[in-house]
Amino acid sequence: MPSETTFYVYALKDPRTSPARAFYIGKGTGTRSFDHLVKPDNTRKGQRIQEIQAEGKKVLVERLVDGLSQAQSLRLEAELIAAFGTIDTDGLLTNSVMPSALGRTSKAGLVVPSGAKEKAQVGLDLLKDAVLDLARANPDGITNGETASVLGLKSDYGGGVKDYLSYSVLGILMREGKVERDAEKGRGKHVARVR
């Protein structure tokens, strides 16, 4: 378990521009900032890394702030993503702060404070990581009810218990191909897909 102030916020920069421009902002501990480079995924970030490497260049990894608590790193990461903007908001960053096809439009007259979407999506990323960690630790699968209970996501809105938040997170992980329902493991069991 990371200590209280071992978190940092980092930027991945494209060396093909002068000065090198940030294309991804993240937070982490240990070698997290370099993990993206080892096996780039198929996200926009991963594709940019592959493009840079295909040209024989090296992605620049810069730690922006060290010695943060997890809460401080989360807040700074969200603020930097909001400041730089994402490709989806005509900004610079490849951060995938919005699940595909979700949350891109808002109701007329609804005021969305600057950075609110980004903060929500950073929080969603943490929830997804927690649920995926839980699924990986339990190879026989996890149910939505177990997920909501052990991760403190139970809701009693309006007096009824509806664990929609954990269902939503499990649904997103299923859409991303990281978790799957396994009828053989039991009713409502979700298992982490093997990488």
Which range of residues forms the domain containing residue 150? 116-192
Inside any domain, residue 54: yes
Q: What is the pLDDT of residue 186?
A: 60
Query: Model confidence over 104-138: pLDDT tens digits?
Result: 455 677 887 877 776 777 788 888 889 999 999 99
Query: Model confidence over 133-186: pLDDT tens digits?
Result: 999 999 989 988 899 889 988 887 766 667 788 888 888 888 878 888 887 766
Q: Which residue has the higher pLDDT, 86 or 103?
A: 86
Inside any domain, residue 110: no
Do residues 93 and 81 touch, judged by C-beta distance below 8 A? yes
Q: What is the pLDDT of residue 100?
A: 33
Instruction: Please provide the DSSP assignment of 88-147 as one string.
Output: GGTSSB----S-TTSS----TT----TTHHHHHHHHHHHHHHHHHHHHHH-TT-B-HHHH
Which of the 8 DSSP states describes residue 193? P
Verify that 48 and 85 share a domain, yes or no.
yes
Verify that 83 and 132 share a domain, yes or no.
no
pTM comes to 0.55
- Structural domain count of the chain: 2
Longest CA–CA separation in the chain, Å: 59
Inside any domain, residue 95: no
Residue 121 sits in a domain whose CATH number is: 1.10.10
Cα–Cα distance measured from residue 75 to residue 96, given in angstroms and rounded to the nearest whole number: 17
Count Cα neighbours of 22 within 13 Å in the Cβ-side half-sphere. Answer: 19
Verify that 122 and 77 share a domain, yes or no.
no
Helix or strand run (H / E) with residue 179: strand 179-181
